[in-house]
Structure 1
Amino acid sequence: MSPKMQPKALRAQSDPVFVQSLGKAMRVLEAFRDSDAPLSLAEISSRAGITRSAAQRIVHSFRQLGYMRLSDDGRGFLLDLGILDLTYNYLRMHPLIRRATPILQELRRTVRERVDLSLFDGQRMVYAARLQSKREVFFATLIGHSVPTYCTSGGWAVLAMLPDDEVNMLLSAAEMRQVTPRTLTDPQAIREQIELTRQNGHSLAIEQILMGEVAIGVAISGSDNRPAGAIHIAGNLSEWQPEEFRRHVAPLASAAASAMI
């Protein structure tokens, strides 16, 4: 079994109705997570936790369907445009993203800093909308990029909406790692940030994901009164003092989040 396998896939293995062959095929697609280069069949096989012959058949099928292609140098495989078709359909049919888009655009015009919408997925926050400012690193422009829930402004905001026992469960299961030298990995320090977020109605994260960045996070409530995601507004510490940034953008972010409910 692949060490990269996600918890959802592990649970599915014990489900009698689950289609195991489909699970293998999806693990082939998931093998490209965090890869910076084309993958060989051997690498796909290893990452997906399947045999080389199974990987070969699945890759061939995905190539025929337009979801994978051979790299230009012929030494490995890449995801293909068919994946973007699926992404487009997901984004256009997601009710929160549809409601949020015009609100985020107006918010971006007002604050003139990067505005993101992330969706809550347990241990990670997945970016579903990204409205850039004048300067961004490459990964900060990509929809689908994910960041750890435990050390992000949006993550602290959604955790603040959850009961303490659920917060403790998520933190105990998290793979704590320092993304920057200032990333919080001590559970008690993270709980203190979550409590501050509950008191303030928003989070303030300083250099948790990027050095030089300050970010405000406000949770967005779903129809079940649980956090569905969060708005993030990010600025540069060379231009903003953290408390000045909070005073300027937190009320605007909170108003935008309320308008999405």
Structure 2
Amino acid sequence: MSARPDTLFIQSLAKGMKVLECFAEHPAPLSLNEIAEYCEMDRSAAQRMTYTLVTLGYLERGVSGRGFMPGKKILERTFDYLRSVPLLERATPLIVDVQRESGERVELSLFDDLTIIFALRRQTKRQTYTTTLIGRRLATVHTASGRAIMSHLPADEVDSILARSQSKPLTTRTITDADRIRALVAQAAADGYAVASEESMLGEINLASAVLDHEGRPIAAIDISGSLADWDAEAFAKRFAPMLMGATKALSGKAGLS
């Protein structure tokens, strides 16, 4: 017996969103044929979608009118989201203070099941452009922030995240073995913070602690990132873990955070 169609799901709207999402994997102006190929739709449908999105401002034409790229209107929706989440307003001055005191990159990421997504980032001068942008997603299982969050979840939820994760390692040092990740999550639960070394970027160490809501559920994490040219893992954790856990404790346990 075939599954009943979802009568509330609007296919045409989903196709339009898919056009916007194809730029996640292809960050450059795309031709109409490329959009049709990446979104698995015929050229006529792609033409209608791109025309509508350009008219609304969510797509723009590339240099000299060649190809399509995300439009400035998308930034307005980012603004709408950022100002609607109380956690981000409360966290911003804390993130600024921690970055100023530590001298290292400090970020807040939101928990979104299999991924974390960066919502606040305070960088140092040595970071590359893409590592300073909000909106970047990384795998929960492969990050210090994700493992700090997982350390506050029941074992069955940790197992579910591990079973459903299919992300590719970001570096040659990224840990992918499920048993090793469980051990790191258990260590984070014992320590109150998680450490990842060169798993997101070679030469970088990350230290993270989870932010909990008023029911004790993890909803976010704050992390501090440093260079292995300046620190070893033990010294980095000893220096910054108290500062980090103080910041997450100050944010945790409040109603209406998310």
Give 1:146 shift. Answer: 1.2
CA-based RMSD: 1.5
Residues 1:159 and 2:150 aligned together: yes
* Alignment partner of 2:164 out of 169, 173, 181: 173
Q: How does 1:36-115 map to 2 (within 5 A)?
A: 36-115=27-106
- Corresponding position of 1:237: 228
Give 1:260 shift. Answer: 1.2
Give 1:31 shift. Answer: 1.2
Listed one character per residue, the Cα deviations across residues 192-212 of structure 1 (whole Å, up to 9, x for unaligned) are: 110100010100111111111
Quick one: distance in 1 between partners of 2:58 and 2:159? Answer: 39
* Alignment partner of 1:212 out of 190, 199, 203: 203
* Alignment partner of 1:186 out of 173, 177, 181: 177
Matched to 2:42, the amino acid is T
- Secondary structure of the equivalent of 2:23? coil
- Secondary structure of the equivalent of 1:127? strand
- Secondary structure of the equivalent of 1:37? coil
Matched to 1:76, the amino acid is G
Residues 1:142 and 2:133 aligned together: yes
Matched to 1:251, the amino acid is P
Give 1:74 shift. Answer: 3.3
- Corresponding position of 1:9: none
Structure 1: gaps (5+ residues): 1-12
Q: How does 1:26-37 map to 2 (within 5 A)?
A: 26-37=17-28
TM-score by length of 1: 0.91
TM-score by length of 2: 0.92
Give 1:157 shift. Answer: 0.6
Give 1:139 shift. Answer: 1.4
* Alignment partner of 1:22 out of 10, 13, 23: 13
- Secondary structure of the equivalent of 1:232? strand
Equivalenced residue count is: 249
Residues 1:129 and 2:116 aligned together: no
* Alignment partner of 2:249 out of 225, 240, 258: 258
Quick one: distance in 2 between partners of 1:66 and 1:108? Answer: 35
Give 1:258 shift. Answer: 1.2
Give 1:14 shift. Answer: 4.9
Quick one: distance in 2 between partners of 1:151 and 1:22? Answer: 32
Give 1:176 shift. Answer: 4.2
Matched to 1:31, the amino acid is C
Tell whether the 8 Å contact from 1:176 to 1:185 is kept in structure 2 after alignment. no
Quick one: distance in 1 between partners of 2:157 and 2:33? Answer: 39
Give 1:48 shift. Answer: 2.3
Q: Percent identity?
A: 39
- Corresponding position of 2:255: none
Give 1:42 shift. Answer: 2.0
- Secondary structure of the equivalent of 1:218? strand
Matched to 1:171, the amino acid is L
- Secondary structure of the equivalent of 1:105? helix
Tell whether the 8 Å contact from 1:214 to 1:235 is kept in structure 2 after alignment. yes
- Corresponding position of 1:4: none
Quick one: distance in 2 between partners of 1:104 and 1:168? Answer: 31
Structure 2: gaps (5+ residues): 253-258
Listed one character per residue, the Cα deviations across residues 69-116 of structure 1 (whole Å, up to 9, x for unaligned) are: 111043310001100111111111111111100111111111110000
Residues 1:226 and 2:217 aligned together: yes
Listed one character per residue, the Cα deviations across residues 54-76 of structure 1 (whole Å, up to 9, x for unaligned) are: 21111111111111111104331
